[in-house]
């Protein structure tokens, strides 16, 4: 059974690995520039409001679980607007840091992990029916968007750090 699971994972991972190798050669933009070019408008606005542009443009390496604009749209009405206010910067930064791992972790390695330590806490990782899920609810919809200082994995829901 374990060999069958590994074979299934290999089928899932192989295309991502090939894609990663291809992008490794062509990545010419950092994480923030890549997010801008890929039109992650809400994420970029949040990174700017949180004052993290310089950090995520830095040397890295980083892995960013990047929510789509649609993912931000799933937040309760008014939540995003509230988070983007200057007086809520600390809370916004914590949420953004929960999407960042201080290492380059391509899809081939993500599927081997049970958890990832983000800058704001632990995220659980599980492969269900060939789909990578974070914290049981968040689906990774695209992997290995390569940048000069790391990698972006696109997710369909905003990750919220556990309450303290």
Helices (H), 27-83: 31-37, 41-49, 53-57, 69-73, 79-83
pLDDT more than 90, % of the chain: 77
- With b for 16 or more beta-carbon neighbours within 10 A and e for fewer, the 124-144 pattern comes to ebebeeeebbbbeebebebbb
163 in a structural domain: no
137 in a structural domain: yes
44 in a structural domain: yes
Strand runs labelled E in the chain: 62-67, 100-101, 115-118, 121-128, 131-134, 138-147, 150-155
> Average of pLDDT values for 35-56?
95
21 in a structural domain: yes
Domain range for 78 is 2-155
Which pair of structure tokens corresponds to residue 77?
């009405």
Which pair of structure tokens corresponds to residue 16?
């991502």
State the total domains in the chain: 1
164 in a structural domain: no
- pLDDT band for position 96 (50/70/90)? very high
114 in a structural domain: yes
Identify the CATH number of the domain in which residue 12 sits: 2.30.180.10
* 98-157: pLDDT as tens digits: 999 999 999 999 989 999 999 999 999 999 888 999 999 999 999 999 999 999 999 999
42 in a structural domain: yes
Tokens 């303290």 belong to: 164
């Amino acid at each position: 059974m374990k060999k069958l699971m590994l074979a299934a994972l290999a089928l899932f991972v192989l295309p991502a690995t090939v894609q990663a190798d291809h992008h490794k050669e062509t990545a010419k933009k950092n994480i923030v520039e890549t997010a801008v070019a890929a039109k992650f408008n809400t994420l970029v606005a949040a990174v700017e409001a949180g004052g993290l542009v310089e950090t995520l443009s830095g040397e890295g390496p980083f892995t960013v679980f990047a929510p789509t604009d649609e993912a931000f749209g799933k937040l309760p009405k008014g939540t995003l607007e509230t988070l983007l206010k200057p007086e809520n910067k600390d809370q916004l930064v914590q949420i953004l840091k929960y999407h960042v791992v201080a290492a380059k972790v391509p899809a081939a390695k993500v599927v081997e992990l049970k958890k990832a330590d983000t800058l704001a806490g632990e995220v659980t990782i599980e492969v269900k029916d060939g789909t990578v899920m974070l914290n049981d609810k968040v689906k990774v919809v695209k992997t290995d968007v390569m940048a000069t200082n790391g990698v972006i994995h696109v997710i369909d829901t905003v990750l919220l750090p556990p309450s303290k």
